[in-house]
Structure 1
Amino acid sequence: MSPSLSPPRLHRSVPAVAVLLAIVTTLALAASTMSRPAPAGEPLAVSATAQAPVRAPADERPNIVLFTTDDQRLDEMVFLPKTNELLGEQGLTFTEAITPHPLCCPARAEIMTGQLAQNNGVRTNFPPQGGYASFDNSSTIGTDLSAAGYNTAFLGKMLNGYSLDYGRDPGWTLFNATSHGYADYYKFVQYDNGTVERVPGYYTDYLSQKAVEYAHQLSSYDAPFFMWVSHFAPHPSKGREGCDDASCKNGPPKMSPGYRALSRLAGRAPHEVLAQQMAREVTQKPSFNERDVSDKQCLVRKQRMSSTQKVMRIQQARGAALASVDDALARLVVQLELDGELDNTYIVFVTDNGYQLGEHRWFGKTLPYEENLRTPMLVRGPGVPAGATTDSIATIVDLAPTFLDIADAQTDRVLDGVSLLPTWRGETEEPLHPGGVLIQGGAYKPETGPRGWLYRGVRTARYTYVRYHDGFVELYDRERDPYQLRSVADDPDYAPLRAELARRTRLLQDCAGPADCNRTFGPLPHPSA
């Protein structure tokens, strides 16, 4: 049953820049078969099994749009110029945003719940300690905001293991989750509000169109809305069935028909030029094909060196995949402007985890190196100063508490993160995580133990400390060793520091709640030499 219309909202005139962006974006997507959103006043039909959007008296609380990528490195923001312009130049950029658990499912569960992995139950990508089967979907940011009077929408990649059998997750007004096939980029199956869709098109373009349609529909109602657009790019494409770690024989991400055509016509498209430049920079890093890995855990010591040609090939594909994501975000921003919602909407761009491209001989994620832990985080919205940057450490676990703060909403969960809203608005420069951030990795193999931890540790503004399941310890002084080439775990001059970071890890690894998980420990014993 279609929801009834609420009173129409007043729409402002659209600035010329928005019109130009709409034209540019439409041209960039010309090769894909996309339909226009329904005209204003004609919201899209919702299936009988969908939860009809709430009709409420005018509610001026801000809308929230969360826009995520998958496996994106921080330095790959060069492939998203529209995102940098529309969010970075019009809002706040975090230069020290961290994903505490750099793997797909644990990271997404942290975003959903505002809880670290020891509290949300998702430690890796597959059962028994991970994946969708380990996730409690009865209490999430979706249920919280729905209970607070928000219309909610989720579309895109859910946790690994989600299937059509699970149907709609609680708390979502509109729910369009991918059952399987997204790793192919072209042959995927969607659960779209009770209807099964087998989609032959390009995954990013499909999500882009659905996001525009959902935003337009939700803008027709007086209730504020929360929408999470969960993209798969630039994750590697289709590997072995049921495999999603660095041991998979995955291929590079696939590009859209539009960018494939652009590459053929232009010879060297802009994203290809950028990819070549970035691949050169990656392969010239001292950490690429690191020669001496004797100070690193055996997972790294077992890896072979990679060719520069491999990095070039993969980076070009990743750049093209991210260019499509960039177009998708621009289309969504234009739609919010057309619907008169942009000025009252927080838009957050973040990724679940980073990705190594041969640094320390590793292709993939999970390991506690900067390429995996650091994530882009950009936000624009009411009260956020334009063109601002902050080096305050923030994490993706902080997003759910922030969204609840924006919505003046409550939850029955004990949240481990803290609200970023005062930092977004420039109201405070106090550090959000003064004692460091707990970092941890889930198991690749059963021998990592019944609790499913590969490693656990702490990342501070200067140091990275981890202890693996087998007792192996790595400690890096990133101020002196930014490429993490030399572990100082056995350096006597760092012994007091190692002991203190080990103590912090022991205290944080079972923490629960914002005070417990974001302690102020006091000064660190820095090395004297």
Structure 2
Amino acid sequence: MTERPFNLVFVFADQWRAQATGYAGDPNAATPNLDAFAALSLSFTNAVSGCPVCSPYRASLMTGVYPNRHRMMVNDQCLHRLYKGPFLADCLREAGYRTAYIGKWHLDGNGRNAFVPPDRRLGFDWWKGFECSHDYQSSFYYFGDDPKPHRWAGYDADAQTDEACRFLREETGPTPFALFLSWGPPHDPFDTAPASFAARFDPRTIRLPPNVPEAAADRARREMAGYYAHGSALDAAFGRLLDTLSATGRERDTIVVFTSDHGDMLGSQGHFRKQRPWAESVRVPFLVRHPEGAGPGVDPSPIDAPDLMPTLLALCGAPIPAGLHGRDFSGTIRAGAPSGIEDTLLALYLPFHQWRYDNGGREYRGLHTRRYSYVRSLAGPWLLYDNGNDPWQQRNLVDVPAHAARVAELDARLAARLREVGDDFADGREILRREQYPLTPAGDIAILPSHRS
């Protein structure tokens, strides 16, 4: 056993769905470094982003609770104002860790280009980050306490990874560290990947999943080509990060996690982007390499963003605060112990931005189990898929008489889980009334203007 707590490197992309890797069987993906990493890691094959949109996921990662409690149910709000903690990085600091954050934050809500002051970084004491940008070839960051913006050189995910590698070489010592690296891609726009990677993917050769209807096929191929180009560029960056861990000897005492904040429909079911309850939006990669863990393999336990705070704290030997919604999976990662966990919640609390009431968006709650996905809207049961027999979710069983008992059983389990976490499944307009989120004149969630120093 190591004489000190393990270090942690936590890498997460934006909008990278679980299906889009070579190790997951995607014929379009070129991800050799992730594939090799997966072969040495524990892969949670039912990992989800239970509220599949940026800020709610990130807030649940940092708090260990569902959005109905931390109140970041939409993007572009200030978590520090909405919720008083405890926060993941604060807990790691109290346990003796040096905490570092590089890349996209999207938890401050005071303008996407604005400086995030140290008291709103939720316990991260080393900082080279920014609120939110998807201008990958020309984006800015803030370093430490300096409110002056600085420009990332070139493709920002490359520059961010280079900085993470420099941090590992030059900024680490006897004190255990927790380094979070947050990439903006493969989130759209899809035409901004480095040219050398973009050239590898021709829309005409993209192989579509069987659940992309013909009406969405042309757009899906165009977008997928750019999406996979971003993913391949990130894969190369991840490989450099792993090489640096090896060269510095840190791989022997560092837990490495790779995941994403949500997926992208990319034409499946005729939909694009996130927030939707289908697998391409909800399911995310989740790989953990532990130097003294149970070893490589797969685990079917459903794991979600609120579970990450208690799991990471336990893996780092830090106390887990009372009252979290999340479940601790550290025993599964360290020793291969069965988690016993059979389901996790799905939710969209309020349709907004890319999926609004006026373009088909709706509130929903659901359960993702080891085999089934069940979702209800305010109108009643909406979706039931047997993912074991129908992985592309092409047959909705919710109104099939032979599955009525399954619907009733899952609906009762869902109701019990919602009571457990204090979620009253309110109409989104009621949530707007309660929370008073700033709105645009058209009634959508506002993105506040930025004021750079």
TM bucket, shorter chain: 0.7 to 0.9
Contact 1:123 1:453 in 2 (8 A): no
Q: Which of the pair has more CA radius of gyration?
A: 1
Following the alignment from structure 2 to structure 1, what is the Cα–Cα distance between the partners of residues 10 and 191?
A: 22
Letter in 2 for 1:437: T
Letter in 2 for 1:438: L
Distance 1:332 1:139, change over 3 A: same
State the secondary structure of the residue aligned to 1:201.
Answer: coil
The corresponding residue for 1:346 is 255
Following the alignment from structure 2 to structure 1, what is the Cα–Cα distance between the partners of residues 325 and 204?
A: 40
- Aligned pairs for 1:75-94 (under 5 A) are 75-78=19-22, 79-85=30-36, 87-94=37-44
Letter in 2 for 1:118: N
Q: Does 1:206 align with 2:159?
A: yes
Q: Does 1:136 align with 2:83?
A: yes
State the secondary structure of the residue aligned to 1:68.
Answer: strand
Render the CA deviation track for 1:24-67: whole Å, top value 9, x for unaligned. xxxxxxxxxxxxxxxxxxxxxxxxxxxxxxxxxx9611001100
Render the CA deviation track for 1:229-269: whole Å, top value 9, x for unaligned. 011110002xxxxxxxxxxxxxx251125535xx3xxxxx3
Q: Does 1:314 align with 2:314?
A: no
Structure 2 unaligned blocks of 5 or more: 23-29, 423-453
The corresponding residue for 1:439 is 346
- Aligned pairs for 1:356-435 (under 5 A) are 356-412=265-321, 414-431=323-340, 433-434=341-342
Bigger CA drift: 348-357 or 465-474? 465-474
Letter in 1 for 2:123: G
Distance 1:337 1:170, change over 3 A: same
Render the CA deviation track for 1:442-482: whole Å, top value 9, x for unaligned. 3225997xxx9811111222222212234462222334433
Following the alignment from structure 1 to structure 2, what is the Cα–Cα distance between the partners of residues 233 and 483?
A: 24
Letter in 2 for 1:106: P
State the secondary structure of the residue aligned to 1:333.
Answer: helix
Following the alignment from structure 1 to structure 2, what is the Cα–Cα distance between the partners of residues 94 and 472?
A: 27
State the 4+ residue runs in structure 1 displaced beyond 6 angstroms: none
Contact 1:71 1:354 in 2 (8 A): yes
State the secondary structure of the residue aligned to 2:363.
Answer: strand
The corresponding residue for 1:288 is 212
The corresponding residue for 2:171 is 218
Q: Does 1:186 align with 2:95?
A: no
Percentage identity across paired residues of the two chains: 26
Render the CA deviation track for 1:394-452: whole Å, top value 9, x for unaligned. 22322211111122212545222222222113431343x22x2111113225997xxx9
Distance 1:475 1:377, change over 3 A: same
Structure 1 unaligned blocks of 5 or more: 1-57, 238-251, 264-268, 291-304, 514-529
Distance 1:223 1:352, change over 3 A: same
Following the alignment from structure 1 to structure 2, what is the Cα–Cα distance between the partners of residues 176 and 312?
A: 35
Distance 1:82 1:333, change over 3 A: same
Contact 1:179 1:189 in 2 (8 A): no
* Deviation of the 1:390 alpha carbon: 2.3
Following the alignment from structure 1 to structure 2, what is the Cα–Cα distance between the partners of residues 152 and 445?
A: 33
Letter in 1 for 2:180: W
Contact 1:91 1:385 in 2 (8 A): no
Following the alignment from structure 1 to structure 2, what is the Cα–Cα distance between the partners of residues 151 and 398?
A: 22
Distance 1:368 1:135, change over 3 A: same
User: How many pairs align?
Assistant: 402
Q: Does 1:235 align with 2:173?
A: no
Following the alignment from structure 1 to structure 2, what is the Cα–Cα distance between the partners of residues 348 and 453?
A: 32
Contact 2:106 2:131 in 1 (8 A): no
Distance 1:393 1:138, change over 3 A: closer
State the secondary structure of the residue aligned to 1:457.
Answer: strand
Render the CA deviation track for 1:284-321: whole Å, top value 9, x for unaligned. x0x2128xxxxxxxxxxxxxx32x33222211211121
Distance 1:170 1:486, change over 3 A: closer
Render the CA deviation track for 1:354-400: whole Å, top value 9, x for unaligned. 11111111011111111122111111122234442222332232221
CA root-mean-square deviation: 2.7
Following the alignment from structure 1 to structure 2, what is the Cα–Cα distance between the partners of residues 158 and 147?
A: 22
Distance 1:159 1:84, change over 3 A: same
* Deviation of the 1:224 alpha carbon: 0.3
Contact 1:204 1:233 in 2 (8 A): yes
Distance 1:82 1:165, change over 3 A: closer
* Deviation of the 1:497 alpha carbon: 2.1
Following the alignment from structure 2 to structure 1, what is the Cα–Cα distance between the partners of residues 54 and 389?
A: 30
